[in-house]
Chain A
């Protein structure tokens, strides 16, 4: 059974003359327990696929399936117990007036858990934040700590699939590596399926086993990370992306080493 199966997905915004096709005929398949990266420049439609999958964008057609269940127009609560998402900007994804305790407590109660106190402590431990962070408000946390809270929130319903929307791009480099290591540890511990969106090939290479390259709303190439490392690419855009990313790595070796390590 595949974790996520997307076939011929089209997503658009607006109607008639204003219509913009954000995703055109995208197909991907992520095995259960696998990790898949979507790469491309901003505006290439990678985040839109995640938003269509989670039901945040209602205007789509095509076929989507999660853990063997085809998706319709509406998502019910059982869907959100299986699939959770970590947003790009931890400064925008936490309610500014809710403490960590409130954020996690509400999430747990929405999913019908009873032992909320114990679970909050456990979640905070799991993401490497101690109990001392429990009653803080977002403005008392750093970007990396906020993102850990967002990851804890996504883990709260014990999902099998985690969608990661550029989870590190709003963070500074040293914190990026910490969050990426946390994410790969969590995946090992909990046998999670990851679908990750990023414009950073090094980040995707660290987390994912296969990647799809997107350009202008279309998937131009799907390849494994080994193929990417060996630079066995077919499409000129992939070559271009890889070349520019290698150039960046040569310019500043430290960050890339850590991410690849």
Chain B
């Protein structure tokens, strides 16, 4: 029944079986098969690799960073990349850019994680409830969604930050508030295609209530397309956070946030290109990684492609 009496060389066969013998076995086998098809996509693996490296860098920032990201050394200001001790150069206050990028990875991951937790969940909830309930609830929820969709994202985020005060948390909140409507639309569209399917009827005939149907039967089928969409949107979210930072409305100095770093470097861009370029490259790389990952996930998770 369980893993114990399976020989190690049989692990692959055990995972590839068509006749799982326990709840966990079935779950592991399904996961492993998704992993196999994901692994076949090399670009997606590159994206995943970059993100794993980013997560490791963020986790071990104090060990990896050669300098304190906040310590200033005015004698060593605006050193070009390659200067001993300053691999990627230093900024206008003599802070090591590499160290700041390494610590900035933490902030980027923090923003990305928070937005990825808030926006899709709100969107999923609003969209599935609207789609499943129909009628006036659908109309009200979708008109609210339309109103949020009609605002230009960065402008609405700006307004929120202006109202709530500058800072990373408020930037996250502002980005989340502007990011959920597309998820609500996707979730609603998915729900509408499922609402009248036989497997939903079948569970209604067991006496299941609407909340149970939405959470246990509709959500699992919406999640995959949302995960894909969120991953593809991550690049935009990082850029929006960087944009708010650049405008001075996100992370506040001296926090080493990548967008704020570009903003700092703007003043020297003609004579000291590296100050703005290095964080720009970091943003570019991470955004690209998320896009590659999203593409691969779409191939694995999209229920319209696989499943059957």
A111 within 8 A of B: yes
- Look across to chain B and name the residue whose beta carbon is closest to the beta carbon of A88: B198
Instruction: Determine whether the beta carbon of A135 is less than 8 Å from that of B20.
Output: yes
Instruction: Determine whether the beta carbon of A135 is less than 8 Å from that of B25.
Output: yes
A106 within 8 A of B: yes
A93 within 8 A of B: yes
**In the complex, what residues of A have CB within 8 A of residue B19's CB?**
132-133, 136, 140
Instruction: Looking at the assembled complex, report how far the CB atom of A41 sits from the nearest CB atom of chain B, in whole angstroms.
Output: 21
Instruction: Determine whether the beta carbon of B307 is less than 8 Å from that of A135.
Output: no
Instruction: Determine whether the beta carbon of B22 is less than 8 Å from that of A135.
Output: yes
Complex interface bits, A163-190 against B, C-beta within 8 A gives 1, otherwise 0: 0000000000000000000000000000
A137 within 8 A of B: yes
Instruction: Determine whether the beta carbon of A135 is less than 8 Å from that of B26.
Output: yes
A252 within 8 A of B: no
Instruction: Determine whether the beta carbon of B221 is less than 8 Å from that of A84.
Output: no
Distance of A77 Cα from B203 Cα, bound (Å): 12
Instruction: Determine whether the beta carbon of B18 is less than 8 Å from that of A110.
Output: no
**In the complex, what residues of A have CB within 8 A of residue B35's CB?**
none
- Look across to chain B and name the residue whose beta carbon is closest to the beta carbon of A76: B207
Query: Beyond A93-B199, A95-B199, A96-B307, is A135–B21 a contact (Cβ under 8 Å)?
Result: yes
Task: Name the prevailing secondary structure of the A interface residues.
Answer: loop
- Look across to chain A and name the residue whose beta carbon is closest to the beta carbon of B202: A93
Distance of A85 Cα from B203 Cα, bound (Å): 11
**In the complex, what residues of A have CB within 8 A of residue B18's CB?**
136, 140
Complex interface bits, A64-105 against B, C-beta within 8 A gives 1, otherwise 0: 000000000001110010001101110011111111010000
Task: Count A-side interface residues using an 8 Å CB cutoff.
Answer: 35
Instruction: Determine whether the beta carbon of B202 is less than 8 Å from that of A99.
Output: no
A54 within 8 A of B: yes
Query: Beyond A92-B197, A92-B198, A96-B221, is A77–B20 a contact (Cβ under 8 Å)?
Result: no
Instruction: Determine whether the beta carbon of A110 is less than 8 Å from that of B217.
Output: no
Instruction: Looking at the assembled complex, report how far the CB atom of B92 sits from the nearest CB atom of chain A, in whole angstroms.
Output: 54
**In the complex, what residues of B have CB within 8 A of residue A46's CB?**
none
Instruction: Determine whether the beta carbon of B202 is less than 8 Å from that of A56.
Output: no
B201 within 8 A of A: yes
Instruction: Determine whether the beta carbon of A95 is less than 8 Å from that of B217.
Output: yes
In chain B, positions 18-73 with a C-beta closer than 8 Å to chain A are 18-23, 25-26, 30
Instruction: Looking at the assembled complex, report how far the CB atom of A98 sits from the nearest CB atom of chain B, in whole angstroms.
Output: 8
**In the complex, what residues of B have CB within 8 A of residue A137's CB?**
26, 30
Instruction: Determine whether the beta carbon of A54 is less than 8 Å from that of B307.
Output: no
Query: Beyond A95-B199, A95-B217, A132-B19, is A139–B308 a contact (Cβ under 8 Å)?
Result: yes
- Look across to chain B and name the residue whose beta carbon is closest to the beta carbon of A83: B205
Distance of A137 Cα from B307 Cα, bound (Å): 10
A52 within 8 A of B: no
**In the complex, what residues of B have CB within 8 A of residue A54's CB?**
205
- Look across to chain B and name the residue whose beta carbon is closest to the beta carbon of A165: B198
Distance of A75 Cα from B308 Cα, bound (Å): 33
**In the complex, what residues of A have CB within 8 A of residue B221's CB?**
95-97
**In the complex, what residues of B have CB within 8 A of residue A94's CB?**
199, 202
**In the complex, what residues of A have CB within 8 A of residue B22's CB?**
135
**In the complex, what residues of A have CB within 8 A of residue B198's CB?**
87-89, 92-93
Complex interface bits, A134-148 against B, C-beta within 8 A gives 1, otherwise 0: 011101100000000
Distance of A199 Cα from B260 Cα, bound (Å): 70
Distance of A77 Cα from B23 Cα, bound (Å): 28
B2 within 8 A of A: no
**In the complex, what residues of B have CB within 8 A of residue A23's CB?**
none
In chain B, positions 175-221 with a C-beta closer than 8 Å to chain A are 197-199, 201-208, 216-217, 220-221
A44 within 8 A of B: no
Instruction: Looking at the assembled complex, report how far the CB atom of A103 sits from the nearest CB atom of chain B, in whole angstroms.
Output: 9
Instruction: Looking at the assembled complex, report how far the CB atom of A89 sits from the nearest CB atom of chain B, in whole angstroms.
Output: 6
**In the complex, what residues of A have CB within 8 A of residue B220's CB?**
95, 97-98
Instruction: Determine whether the beta carbon of A110 is less than 8 Å from that of B21.
Output: no
Q: List 26 A-B contacts (CB under 8 A).
A: A56-B205, A80-B205, A85-B202, A85-B205, A87-B198, A87-B201, A92-B197, A92-B199, A93-B198, A93-B199, A93-B201, A93-B202, A95-B199, A95-B217, A95-B221, A98-B220, A106-B208, A106-B216, A107-B206, A110-B206, A110-B207, A110-B208, A111-B207, A133-B19, A135-B20, A150-B202
For the complex of A and B, list the 6 residue pairs with the smallest distance between their C-beta atoms, beginning with the closest. A77-B207, A93-B198, A135-B26, A135-B20, A92-B198, A80-B207
